[in-house]
Amino acid sequence: MKKLKKIVLIIILLFAVIMMLTSCNKYVYKGQKIGILELKNNSESTIQNVVINDSIYGTLQPGKLIKVKLPHGVYTWQLQGVNGEGCLEVTGTIIEGYTQSFNCSVNER
């Protein structure tokens, strides 16, 4: 019985080590260590463009979010309403292995 408990414990420990090693790799993209920029459109009805360093990465419907993988560095990002309204531009640092989150809600009339 003690042998069985030891075997089960060893299996659990090995599984935990494997899970830790594979979870570290989720922040590696094409050989680069990356961070994640998570942007969410909290507006009720405004569709917003996702703009990072003056490049449009797509659009976000109200209540939706996007996760963008980026190498370590300083970036500017903004959610711009397709009708002109949007949130102010933000400058921040993306750090490898971490997620930077940003929410935007446009005052709708």
- Asked if residue 68 belongs to a domain, the reply is yes
Q: Does position 25 have pLDDT exceeding 70, yes or no?
A: no
The answer to whether residue 73 sits within a structural domain is yes
At 35-68, the pLDDT tens digits run 999 999 998 888 999 999 999 999 999 999 999 9
Is residue 24 over pLDDT 50? Answer: no
Indicate which CATH number applies to the domain containing 72.
2.60.40.780
Query: What is the structure's pLDDT at 38?
Result: 95
Contact 34, 28 (CB under 8 A): yes
pTM: 0.67
Give residue-wise pLDDT tens across range 68-92: 999 999 999 999 888 777 888 999 9
**8 inside domain:** no
Neighbours of 53 (CB within 10 A): 11
6 inside domain = no
**Does 21 reside within a domain?**
no
